[in-house]
Amino acid sequence: MPEKGTNDKPGERIAKVIARAGLASRREAEAWIAAGRVAVNGAPIVSPALNVTAADRIAVDGQPLRARERTRLFLYHKPRGLVTTHADPQGRPTIFRALPKRLPRLISVGRLDINTEGLLLLTNDGGLARVLELPATGWLRRYRVRALGRVTQERLDALRAGITVAGVRYGPIEATVDREQGANVWLTVGIREGKNREVRKVLETLRLNVNRLIRVAFGPFELGELDDGKVEEVATEELKAKLGAELAHQAAVDFDAPLINRDARPVSARHSGASRRPEPGIQKNRPRSRLDSGSPLRGSRNDEKQFDGLLGNKKKTSSLRNFKQKSQKRRDRSGGPRPKFPRPL
């Protein structure tokens, strides 16, 4: 298909349309186009500089581009040891292989490196992912950090002016000392850019060696008590409210499109009141915690235990205890098994 003059054609860029269909990010879609995997009206294209409309027939790898579905957002508690990618050349485990199989095809909003855990946003809308991960959006990404070493609050306050590390300029960073634990210190760190390994690299300049890094919030979305490795959908009304009209317009989200069942049951959204039992790996309606309030955990070992509890150290539920009690054989006062018949007097 000739591409001369396609910049003046009404519609949207082809890579943008593919991203909005939830197949890939815009950058990935451009790579697919360059590889000859995309065809428009039956003819392969090799350049993303092409506008298309609803009247055009788009195919990826010979399959018609699926209809766009409602914009959805999921919260995922990423464990350590997983790579934020669909396919890793080194064969390492990825978050997308670990996700429940019945979720739609999702894209991550930014990345967390293999040794970082905590909140990762996932969406089926490539346009929304692109807008949310832009530094210009200005959303604060808040981390809980454990690092080997000591630092004063005065030195952390100096990071508010930004810092240059190895020729890379990092914007203002908010950091506070929460508590000391042996040779380590716990910090709360807030950044707005999210450059590659930003927190680790900046703290290294203060002679702090990060040995645990947990993202606890991304803008208005918080980790709370979402269990390690679990995923939870944000209800559409809540997503609308937290995005706001301006960001929703920039991302060109679609909250009116239908939810398309692609060999899957719909995932129950939190606060929706749905009674369907969630699929294993999908967590519903979680209680809020002190982390959700935005205040750091300070001052006591109980706080540390509480935070560790949020990251997967589960207590046995009363129902499990009751089950075990019922399944155990009754015993007499001597500690032995209770006789089947009463003992003779």
Q: Active-site residues: which are they?
A: 113
Cα separation, 227 vs 285, whole angstroms? 12
Write out the DSSP string of 290-337: GGGGTPPP-S-HHHHHHHHHHTT-PPPPHHHHHHHHHHSPPB-TTSSB
Are 129 and 25 spatial neighbours (Cβ–Cβ below 8 Å)?
yes
Distance in angstroms (rounded) separating the CA atoms of residues 104 and 234: 14
Single-letter residue type at 262: R
Q: Name beta bridge partners: 123.
A: 73, 107
Three-class HEC string of 207-247: CCEEEEEEEEEECCEECCCCCCCCEEECCHHHHHHHHHHHH
Q: How far apart are CA 59 and CA 112, in angstroms?
A: 32
Tell me the two tokens of residue 336. Answer: 């032995």
Residue entry with tokens 């995922």: 76
**CB-count exposure of residue 100 (10 Å: 0-12, 13-18, 19+):** middle
**Residue among 182, 123, 113, 172 nearest 148 (CA):** 182
